[in-house]
């Protein structure tokens, strides 16, 4: 099998390690079948689509809608490199799934509007599939209403005109969408389970997602729900596109 490629923007070792392990677990692939490249620590390099079964992009502390002067050199480089990669991915309708930061990068790349009008607190989110989402193979075996984990400062407030809306929520109008047949993005984190969320609450307590004094309350809220469906998207992605 050609491996999958995970692109990571996380500079924080504990969060990056947890993210990679979670993607392996929910994709149901071995480490040999999931390669990773850290965009936070160096250039993306060449990506020949034919070398991969599919590409995944994780989340992190980069914010697409920040003014350019406020972005780090690493973030500006990452955005430029991802724009070139997405040119190729969309043109080929190549299997791609971006989580959280992925919805900002793919959404803005495709002409949508990404802004800070629809943030959601760190923790459990109530997500609803559209009719298109219910019919989409990526959401096979996922109910119309389900709970996921997330937390974000920005979101897609205007869907690209040619995109298909797959999921929404009361606080955030675009929770998932598709471009073409095989290019996806989600606002919630399909790789995130309770241990992963607890790690990220600790790692990102001072990154502006929440008041650090609220960390224990957020942990308790996360423990109070059962999140079991989002990882199904990753299993479906791997089973559909492994080649």
Compute the distance between CA of residue 175 and CA of residue 98 in angstroms, rounded to an integer: 12
Compute the distance between CA of residue 149 and CA of residue 232 in angstroms, rounded to an integer: 14
Query: Which run of H or E residues covers position 184?
Result: strand 183-186
Structure tokens at 25: 């677990």
Tell which residue, 15, 13, 9, 24, has the closest CA to residue 82: 9
| In contact, 44 and 75? CB cutoff 8 Å | no
Rounded to 5 degrees, φ, ψ at 148 are -135, 170
Instruction: Provide the edge-to-edge strand list for the sheet that holds 176-179.
Output: 34-38, 4-8, 55-57, 96-99, 183-186, 176-179, 164-168, 120-129, 145-152
Structure tokens at 114: 């990404």
Q: Please give the pLDDT value at position 43.
A: 97
Q: Please give the pLDDT value at position 83.
A: 98
Say if strands 96-99 and 55-57 run parallel, antiparallel, or are unpaired.
Answer: parallel
Half-sphere exposure of 95 (CA within 13 A, CB side): 24
| In contact, 237 and 138? CB cutoff 8 Å | yes
What's the chain's length in residues? 243
* Tens-digit pLDDT string for the chain (243 aa): 999 999 999 999 999 999 999 999 999 999 999 999 999 999 999 999 999 999 999 999 999 999 999 999 999 999 999 999 999 999 999 999 999 999 999 999 999 999 999 999 899 999 999 999 999 999 999 999 999 999 999 999 999 999 999 999 999 999 999 999 999 999 999 999 999 999 999 999 998 889 999 999 999 999 999 999 999 999 999 999 999
Structure tokens at 197: 């969320």
pTM for the model: 0.96
Give the orientation angle of helix 13-27 with respect to helix 231-241, to 10 degrees: 60
- Mind listing the pLDDT tens digit for each residue in 60-78? 999 999 999 999 999 999 9
Per-residue burial over 136-154, b if 16 or more Cβ lie within 10 Å, else e, is bebbeebeeebebbbbbbb
Q: Please give the pLDDT value at position 208.
A: 87
Compute the distance between CA of residue 206 and CA of residue 168 in angstroms, rounded to an integer: 28
């Amino acid at each position: 099998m050609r491996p999958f490629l995970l692109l990571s923007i996380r500079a924080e070792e504990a969060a990056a390690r947890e993210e990679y392990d979670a993607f392996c677990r929910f994709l149901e692939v071995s480490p040999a079948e999931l390669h990773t490249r850290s965009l936070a620590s160096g250039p993306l390099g060449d990506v020949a689509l034919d070398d991969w079964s599919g590409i995944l992009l994780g989340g992190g502390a980069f914010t697409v809608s920040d003014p350019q002067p406020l972005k780090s050199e690493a973030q500006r480089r990452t955005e430029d490199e991802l724009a070139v990669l997405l040119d190729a991915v969309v043109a080929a309708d190549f299997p791609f799934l971006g989580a959280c930061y992925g919805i900002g990068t793919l959404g803005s790349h495709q002409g949508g509007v990404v802004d800070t009008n629809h943030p959601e607190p760190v923790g459990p989110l109530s997500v609803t599939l559209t009719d298109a989402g219910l019919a989409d193979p990526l959401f096979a075996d996922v109910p119309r209403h389900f709970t996921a984990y997330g937390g974000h400062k920005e979101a897609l407030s205007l869907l690209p005109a040619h995109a298909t809306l797959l999921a929404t929520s009361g606080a955030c109008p675009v929770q998932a969408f598709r471009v073409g047949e095989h290019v996806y993005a989600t606002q919630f984190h399909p790789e995130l389970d309770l241990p992963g969320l607890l790690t990220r609450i600790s790692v990102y307590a001072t990154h502006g997602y929440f008041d650090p004094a609220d960390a224990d309350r957020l942990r308790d809220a996360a423990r109070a729900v059962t999140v079991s469906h989002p990882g199904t998207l990753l299993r479906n992605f791997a089973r559909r596109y492994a080649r």
